[in-house]
């Protein structure tokens, strides 16, 4: 059965680019454009992995991550943060809340992001 990946990202171009690469690799994709929809999708879809942007309309990614990690049913789902926030404080905060990895958008191509996803889902 295909693994399901939830992409919570408000940048349509980037979201679709990553989604298409993941679909090519055989993953099922669910997309959410903001924090509220993201949390709702996590609960409804129970994805195998979440790609999470931090700067989102409404609830930000840190808040989304906290809510996922506070929920015993959802807390086991690995979350990869995908962000433009590259400050050490932001990275430490994300990892402390429980992200499996923290990727700074400018440093990774969509192909490399897909490789990270594969590694974590192994």
Task: Give, in degrees to the nearest 5, the angle at Cα 117 between 115 and 118.
Answer: 65
Note the pTM of the prediction, 2 decimals.
0.97
Indicate whether 1 pLDDT > 90.
no
Size of the chain, expressed as the number of residues it contains: 122
What percentage of the chain has pLDDT greater than the value 70? 100
pLDDT tens track for 9-41:
999 999 999 999 999 999 999 999 999 999 999
- Provide the CATH number for the domain around residue 53: 3.40.50.2300
Indicate whether 116 pLDDT > 90.
yes
Of the candidates 106, 105, 101, the one whose C-alpha atom is nearest the C-alpha of residue 116 is 101
pLDDT tens track for 42-88:
999 999 999 999 999 999 999 999 999 999 999 999 999 999 999 99
* Total domain count, the chain: 1
Which residue range forms the structural domain that includes residue 37? 4-121
Residue 13's pLDDT is what?
Answer: 95
Residue 7's pLDDT is what?
Answer: 98
């Amino acid at each position: 059965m295909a693994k399901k990946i939830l992409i919570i990202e408000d940048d349509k171009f980037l979201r679709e680019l990553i989604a298409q690469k993941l679909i090519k690799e055989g993953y099922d994709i669910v997309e959410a454009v903001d924090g509220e929809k993201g949390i709702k999708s996590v609960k409804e879809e129970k994805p195998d992995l979440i790609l999470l942007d931090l700067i989102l309309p409404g609830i930000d990614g840190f808040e989304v991550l906290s809510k996922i990690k506070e929920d015993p049913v959802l807390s086991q789902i690995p979350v990869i943060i995908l962000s433009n926030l590259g400050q050490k404080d932001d990275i430490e905060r994300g990892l402390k809340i429980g992200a499996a990895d923290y990727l700074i958008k400018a440093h990774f191509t969509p192909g490399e992001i897909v490789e990270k996803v594969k590694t974590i889902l192994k």
